[in-house]
Amino acid sequence: MMKIKFSLLFLIIGMVFFHAQVNNLEKNTPEKRTYEELEKEFYSTRMGEGNSKSIADYYLKKAKSEKDATHTAEGYVMLHFEANLPDALKYLDSLQHITQNSKENTYPARIYLLRGNLYFRNDNLQPALNNYILGLKYAKEKGNKRQIAMAHISIAYLNNYIGKHEETAKVLRHYVYDADYMNEDEKKTLKLNLADAYIEINKMDSAYILIQDGLQESRKNKDLYRYYENLGLLGYYNLHSKEYQKAIGSLLECEKYFFTNNNSDKRSLHYTLLYLGKSYAGLQQKDKAVDFFRKIDSMVLKTNYIYPELRDVYTYLIDYYKENSDTEKQLYYVERFLKVDNVLDNQFRYISRELPRRYDTPELQQEKESITNELTKRKSLFYIVLSLLLISHLLFINVYFKYKKSEKNYKKIAQDLILSANERRFDRDYKSEPEKETFSETLPIENTGNLEDRTTRTISEDIAQSILKELEIFENKDQFLNKGITLGSLAKKIKTNSKYLSEMINTHKGKNFATYLNDLRIDYAISRLANDRKFRSYKIPFIAEELGYNNEQAFTLAFKKRTGTPLSIYLKEIENMTGK
C-alpha cells in the first residue's frame, strides 16, 4: 500500500540542492532582478504556479548571455521543473554537461537525485530507484549530508511503495527529529508523510499528534495547501479508525479545494477520491463508493498515474457490477485491472528485488563496517586501558613492596634506637622546664689532644678550651632546646665570636652549626620519647615546640634526616615494644 503524499517532496529537493525557503519579493519584472532574487521567487512558489516558467526562461537567458556557467546550470534546473518528462530530461542532460568539471560538492549527485525525482513524479519507479542509488553514492563520496538525507528519504518512499512502512517511518523519524540540518519547511513535509506511515503501522496516537500539529501550524501560517493536505490525512486517519462519517466530512472539504485548485498535484486528487470511495464503502453506500472509484479510473486513463491501491478500486468495481449482472462493465474493469496489475507487478517485482540488493544490503554492509570499526576502536581502547591498569597495578605492587621493605627497615632502625635509648640512664628526672633536665647522652666530644693540629692557628689553645667547655655546658643543660638559637646568639652567650665558634664546631663536632643543633635536639627526642610516657602522649606540634622547633614539619623532617626512620614509625614501635 502506498499512502504517502509527495506534494512538497520535490519542491524540498529543489530547495535543498540550490537555495532554501524564502520570503516573497516585490513583483518586479524579471529584468530588474538579480539572480538571487529570481531564485527566491521561483523556489518560493509551487511548480506550475504564477510566472515561474517565465522567471526560469529569463534566468537561463541572462546566465547564458553573461557566460556564467554556475547560473546557467541553475537555469537548467529551474526549467526542468516546468517541463514535461522528455524536455526535463534534456535540461538535466545539459546540466550534467555544463557541470562535468564542477568543483562544487553538490555535483554530480545533484543531477542523479533530480533525475530520480523527475522519474518518480512521472511514476517511472525503476529509473527513479537507479538514479537515487547513484545520487546516494556520489553524495557519500563528496560527504554532502543534505544530499545523503534526500537520497535516503526518497528511497524510503520507495520502501513504502512495496509495503515496508516500518522502515519508511524509521528513516523519516530520524530526519524529522535527529537531523539539525533539515529546515523547518522540510520537517513539516516529513512530519506529514511520517504521520501517514504511522497510520500504516497502526501507531495511531503518534499519527494523530502529528496531524493536529500540522493543521494548527498551517492555519497559523495561512498555508492553505498544507492545511488541506493535513486535513486529507486526517480523513485517512478516521477511515483507518472506521470513523467513516468523520472521514467523509474532512475529505469532502479536501475534494472541493483540490479540484478547484489548478495546481493541485495528482496524488492529492487521487487519494482524496480513493479515501472518499473507501469511506462510503465502509458505510455500505456502494453506489456512492462506485461513483468515486469510476472517477479515479477516468483520471488514470488521462494521467496514467498508477499506484498500488488501484487494485482495491478495480476489484470493488468488478464485484459491484458482478452483483448487478452488468457483464459488459464487469469485463471492462477486469481488463483495466489486468493492465494496472501488470504495471504494478513489474514495478513491485523490480523494486522488491533491487532495493534490498542495491540499497539495503550495501547500507547494512556499511553499518556493519561502522559497527566493526567502532568495536575495533573500543577493543583497542579496552586493551590500552587494560595495559595502563596493568602497568599501574605493577607499579603499585612495586611501590607497595618497596614501601613494605622500607617500612621493615624503618622498624628495624626504630627498634635499634629504642633499645639504645633504654640502655641510657638519665642523671636526673625530666621536668617541665628544659633547663632543669639533663640529656643522658650527648654527642661525644672529641679528644682535645693535638688541639694545635685541628684548630686554626688564629685560635689560641686557651680560647679553644674555653669554647669547648661552654659547648659542654650548652649540651649538658639542654640549652639547645631553647627557641631562636643562632650561631651569633650562642657565640655571644659564651663570650666568643661567631667565626671562632663556627670553626670549633666544624673542627671538633664534624658538622656545621645547624646540623649540630638539630642533632642535639633529635638525640634528646629519641631518648625522651622512649623513656617518658607522658612526653610521648603529647601532640606532635607540642613536642616540636618543646624541642625548640618552630613547627611540626621542621621537627619531623629533622627526625627522619637524623635517624633514617619516620617519627610515626618510631612512636609506633615504642608502643609495640613497651605495650604502653
Average pLDDT, the chain: 85
Note the pLDDT of residue 245: 97
Q: What is the dihedral of CA 204, 206, 210, 215, to 10 degrees?
A: 40
pTM: 0.61
Using N-to-C axis directions, what is the helix angle for 552-563 and 361-422, rounded to 10°? Answer: 80
Q: Report the chain's C-alpha Rg in angstroms.
A: 49
**What's the CA gap between 396 and 399, in Å, rounded?**
5
Could you tell me which residue, 209 or 428, shows the higher pLDDT? 209
Residue ranges of the alpha helices (H) in 259-326?
A: 266-282, 286-303, 310-323
- What is the SS3 assignment for 20? coil
Q: Which of 578, 560, 537 is nearest to 422 (CA)?
A: 578
Residue 435 per-residue DSSP state: G
The percent of residues in the chain predicted with pLDDT above 70, rounded, is 85
Query: Phi-psi region for residue 202, left (φ > 0), alpha (ψ -120 to 50) or beta?
Result: left
Overall average pLDDT of the 179-197 stretch: 92
> Which are the contacts of 433, defined by CB distance < 8 A and separation ≥ 6?
none
> Which are the contacts of 305, defined by CB distance < 8 A and separation ≥ 6?
123, 266, 267, 270, 299
Note the pLDDT of residue 458: 62
Query: Does the structure show a pLDDT above 80 at 269?
Result: yes
The mean-pLDDT minimum among 63-77, 440-454, 534-548 falls in 440-454
**What's the CA gap between 289 and 307, in Å, rounded?**
18
305 neighbors 268 (Cβ within 8 angstroms): no
Could you tell me which residue, 103 or 365, shows the higher pLDDT? 103
Other Cβ atoms less than 10 A from the Cβ of 130: the count is 17
How deeply is 437 buried, as exposed, middle or buried, from its count of CB atoms within 10 A (0-12, 13-18, 19+)?
Answer: buried
Query: What confidence tens digit (pLDDT) does each residue in 119-177 have?
Result: 998 889 999 999 999 999 999 999 999 999 999 999 999 998 888 999 999 999 999 99
Overall average pLDDT of the 305-314 stretch: 93
**What's the CA gap between 347 and 332, in Å, rounded?**
23
For residue 112, the Cα-to-chain-centroid distance in whole angstroms is 32
79 neighbors 39 (Cβ within 8 angstroms): no
Long-range contacts of 227-230 (CB under 8 A, 24+ apart): 228/253, 228/254, 228/257, 228/258, 228/268, 229/5, 229/7, 229/8, 229/192, 229/268, 230/192
Query: Phi-psi region for residue 242, left (φ > 0), alpha (ψ -120 to 50) or beta?
Result: left
**What's the CA gap between 458 and 204, in Å, rounded?**
112
Query: What confidence tens digit (pLDDT) does each residue in 375-429 have?
Result: 777 788 888 888 888 888 888 888 888 877 888 888 888 888 888 877 664 444 4
Cell triple for 254: 479536501
Other Cβ atoms less than 10 A from the Cβ of 209: the count is 14
The mean-pLDDT minimum among 135-149, 210-224, 249-263, 432-446 falls in 432-446
Q: Per-residue DSSP letters for 472-533?
A: HHHHHTTGGGSTT--HHHHHHHTTS-HHHHHHHHHHHTSS-HHHHHHHHHHHHHHHHHHH-H
Note the pLDDT of residue 365: 64
Could you tell me which residue, 447 or 30, shows the higher pLDDT? 30
> Which are the contacts of 434, defined by CB distance < 8 A and separation ≥ 6?
478, 479, 481, 482, 546
**What's the CA gap between 318 and 327, in Å, rounded?**
9
Overall average pLDDT of the 305-332 stretch: 94
Other Cβ atoms less than 10 A from the Cβ of 271: the count is 26
Q: Over 201-213, what HEC string results?
A: CCCHHHHHHHHHH
Note the pLDDT of residue 321: 95
**What's the CA gap between 182 and 152, in Å, rounded?**
13
How deeply is 35 buried, as exposed, middle or buried, from its count of CB atoms within 10 A (0-12, 13-18, 19+)?
Answer: middle
Query: What confidence tens digit (pLDDT) does each residue in 13-68 have?
Result: 444 444 433 344 344 455 678 999 999 888 887 665 668 888 999 999 999 999 99
Query: Does the structure show a pLDDT above 80 at 437?
Result: no
Cell triple for 193: 508523510
Handedness of CA 243, 249, 252, 254 (dihedral sign): negative
> Which are the contacts of 438, defined by CB distance < 8 A and separation ≥ 6?
426, 427, 428, 476, 477, 478
- What is the SS3 assignment for 458? coil
Q: Which of 30, 8, 32, 33 is nearest to 21 (CA)?
A: 8
**What's the CA gap between 478 and 456, in Å, rounded?**
28
Note the pLDDT of residue 428: 42
First to last CA, the chain: 93
Overall average pLDDT of the 89-108 stretch: 94
For residue 280, the Cα-to-chain-centroid distance in whole angstroms is 51
**What's the CA gap between 509 and 488, in Å, rounded?**
18
Note the pLDDT of residue 46: 65
- What is the SS3 assignment for 19? coil
Note the pLDDT of residue 20: 37
Note the pLDDT of residue 424: 63
Residue 23 per-residue DSSP state: P
Confidence class for position 330, pLDDT limits 50, 70, 90: very high
- What does the chain come to in residues? 580
Overall average pLDDT of the 266-290 stretch: 96
314 neighbors 331 (Cβ within 8 angstroms): no
Note the pLDDT of residue 30: 59
Cell triple for 565: 626512620
Query: Does the structure show a pLDDT above 60 at 515?
Result: yes
